[in-house]
Amino acid sequence: MVDPDILLIAMVELIEGVRNLIGDKGANAVLRDAGRHSGPKLLESLIGHLPEVLEREEAVRRTCMMLEELGFAKKVEKEDSTIRVQDDIFSDAIRAEDIQKSPVVYFLMGLIEGFVQFMTDDKVVLTPKEVEKGNLVFSYS
Protein backbone atom coordinates (compact mmCIF):
# COMPACT_ATOMS: atom_id res chain seq x y z
CA MET A 1 0.00 0.00 0.00
CA VAL A 2 1.28 3.46 -0.87
CA ASP A 3 1.71 5.91 1.98
CA PRO A 4 -0.92 8.72 1.71
CA ASP A 5 1.77 11.31 2.49
CA ILE A 6 3.79 10.12 -0.51
CA LEU A 7 0.70 10.39 -2.72
CA LEU A 8 0.06 13.92 -1.46
CA ILE A 9 3.63 15.00 -2.15
CA ALA A 10 3.39 13.46 -5.63
CA MET A 11 0.14 15.37 -6.24
CA VAL A 12 1.67 18.66 -5.11
CA GLU A 13 4.71 18.08 -7.33
CA LEU A 14 2.37 17.27 -10.24
CA ILE A 15 0.53 20.53 -9.64
CA GLU A 16 3.80 22.47 -9.54
CA GLY A 17 4.80 20.70 -12.78
CA VAL A 18 1.61 21.96 -14.43
CA ARG A 19 2.58 25.46 -13.30
CA ASN A 20 6.03 25.08 -14.88
CA LEU A 21 4.44 23.84 -18.09
CA ILE A 22 1.63 26.36 -18.63
CA GLY A 23 2.45 29.25 -16.29
CA ASP A 24 0.89 30.73 -13.17
CA LYS A 25 -2.46 31.92 -14.49
CA GLY A 26 -3.11 28.83 -16.59
CA ALA A 27 -2.21 26.46 -13.77
CA ASN A 28 -4.32 28.40 -11.28
CA ALA A 29 -7.35 28.22 -13.58
CA VAL A 30 -6.87 24.54 -14.45
CA LEU A 31 -6.29 23.43 -10.86
CA ARG A 32 -9.19 25.47 -9.50
CA ASP A 33 -11.47 23.87 -12.09
CA ALA A 34 -10.06 20.44 -11.18
CA GLY A 35 -10.97 21.11 -7.55
CA ARG A 36 -14.48 22.22 -8.54
CA HIS A 37 -14.97 18.95 -10.41
CA SER A 38 -13.36 16.63 -7.89
CA GLY A 39 -15.14 18.09 -4.83
CA PRO A 40 -18.63 16.95 -5.84
CA LYS A 41 -17.32 13.58 -7.08
CA LEU A 42 -15.53 12.97 -3.78
CA LEU A 43 -18.59 13.83 -1.69
CA GLU A 44 -20.88 11.78 -3.89
CA SER A 45 -18.62 8.74 -3.48
CA LEU A 46 -18.49 9.25 0.30
CA ILE A 47 -22.06 10.19 1.17
CA GLY A 48 -24.14 9.47 -1.92
CA HIS A 49 -26.79 11.92 -3.01
CA LEU A 50 -28.06 14.51 -0.54
CA PRO A 51 -31.80 14.23 0.10
CA GLU A 52 -32.14 18.01 0.34
CA VAL A 53 -30.73 21.19 -1.14
CA LEU A 54 -29.14 23.36 1.53
CA GLU A 55 -28.97 27.12 1.84
CA ARG A 56 -25.58 28.48 0.79
CA GLU A 57 -24.42 29.50 4.29
CA GLU A 58 -25.34 26.08 5.70
CA ALA A 59 -23.48 24.40 2.83
CA VAL A 60 -20.39 26.53 3.59
CA ARG A 61 -20.63 25.62 7.28
CA ARG A 62 -20.91 21.91 6.51
CA THR A 63 -18.07 22.13 4.01
CA CYS A 64 -15.82 23.48 6.75
CA MET A 65 -16.79 20.60 9.03
CA MET A 66 -16.22 18.01 6.29
CA LEU A 67 -12.79 19.37 5.39
CA GLU A 68 -11.76 18.82 9.01
CA GLU A 69 -13.42 15.40 9.26
CA LEU A 70 -11.78 14.19 6.05
CA GLY A 71 -8.38 15.37 7.26
CA PHE A 72 -7.78 18.14 4.72
CA ALA A 73 -7.00 20.56 7.57
CA LYS A 74 -6.82 20.57 11.35
CA LYS A 75 -9.18 23.52 11.67
CA VAL A 76 -11.55 25.17 9.17
CA GLU A 77 -13.69 28.04 10.39
CA LYS A 78 -16.42 30.07 8.74
CA GLU A 79 -16.51 33.67 9.97
CA ASP A 80 -19.03 36.01 8.29
CA SER A 81 -17.96 35.88 4.63
CA THR A 82 -14.53 34.32 5.18
CA ILE A 83 -13.19 30.81 5.56
CA ARG A 84 -9.99 30.27 7.57
CA VAL A 85 -8.09 27.05 6.91
CA GLN A 86 -5.38 26.18 9.42
CA ASP A 87 -2.74 23.48 9.07
CA ASP A 88 -3.99 22.19 5.72
CA ILE A 89 -2.33 19.20 4.08
CA PHE A 90 -1.71 20.97 0.77
CA SER A 91 0.34 23.97 1.81
CA ASP A 92 2.18 21.77 4.29
CA ALA A 93 3.35 19.55 1.40
CA ILE A 94 4.71 22.49 -0.62
CA ARG A 95 8.48 22.68 -0.24
CA ALA A 96 8.78 26.43 -0.78
CA GLU A 97 8.03 28.73 2.14
CA ASP A 98 6.31 31.30 -0.09
CA ILE A 99 3.16 29.56 -1.29
CA GLN A 100 1.27 32.62 -2.55
CA LYS A 101 1.88 31.75 -6.20
CA SER A 102 1.27 28.03 -5.89
CA PRO A 103 -1.67 26.60 -7.85
CA VAL A 104 -2.15 24.17 -4.95
CA VAL A 105 -3.97 27.00 -3.16
CA TYR A 106 -6.31 27.32 -6.15
CA PHE A 107 -6.97 23.57 -6.11
CA LEU A 108 -8.08 23.87 -2.47
CA MET A 109 -10.27 26.87 -3.33
CA GLY A 110 -11.88 24.87 -6.14
CA LEU A 111 -12.38 21.90 -3.83
CA ILE A 112 -14.24 24.10 -1.34
CA GLU A 113 -16.32 25.64 -4.14
CA GLY A 114 -17.11 22.14 -5.43
CA PHE A 115 -18.18 20.90 -1.98
CA VAL A 116 -20.57 23.84 -1.61
CA GLN A 117 -21.92 23.39 -5.12
CA PHE A 118 -22.65 19.72 -4.35
CA MET A 119 -24.89 20.70 -1.43
CA THR A 120 -26.69 23.74 -2.84
CA ASP A 121 -28.01 25.16 -6.08
CA ASP A 122 -26.12 28.35 -5.26
CA LYS A 123 -22.45 28.77 -6.14
CA VAL A 124 -19.78 30.29 -3.95
CA VAL A 125 -16.64 31.96 -5.33
CA LEU A 126 -13.57 32.19 -3.13
CA THR A 127 -10.88 34.85 -3.25
CA PRO A 128 -7.59 34.50 -1.37
CA LYS A 129 -7.09 37.11 1.37
CA GLU A 130 -4.15 35.67 3.34
CA VAL A 131 -1.93 32.92 1.99
CA GLU A 132 0.72 31.59 4.33
CA LYS A 133 1.92 28.09 4.99
CA GLY A 134 -0.53 26.61 7.48
CA ASN A 135 -2.86 29.62 7.44
CA LEU A 136 -5.14 30.31 4.47
CA VAL A 137 -7.96 32.83 4.59
CA PHE A 138 -10.46 33.09 1.75
CA SER A 139 -13.30 35.53 1.36
CA TYR A 140 -16.35 34.29 -0.49
CA SER A 141 -19.28 35.78 -2.30
Structural domains in the chain, CATH included, are: 4-140 (3.30.1380.20)
The alpha carbons of the chain give a radius of gyration, in whole angstroms, of 14
Strands 82-88 and 73-79: antiparallel
Dihedral angle over CA of 76, 71, 34, 48, nearest 10: -100
User: What's the mean per-residue pLDDT of the chain?
Assistant: 91
- Using one digit for the tens of pLDDT, what is the confidence trace for 59-82? 999 999 999 999 999 999 999 999
Higher pLDDT, 117 or 6: 117
Q: What is the pLDDT of residue 7?
A: 83
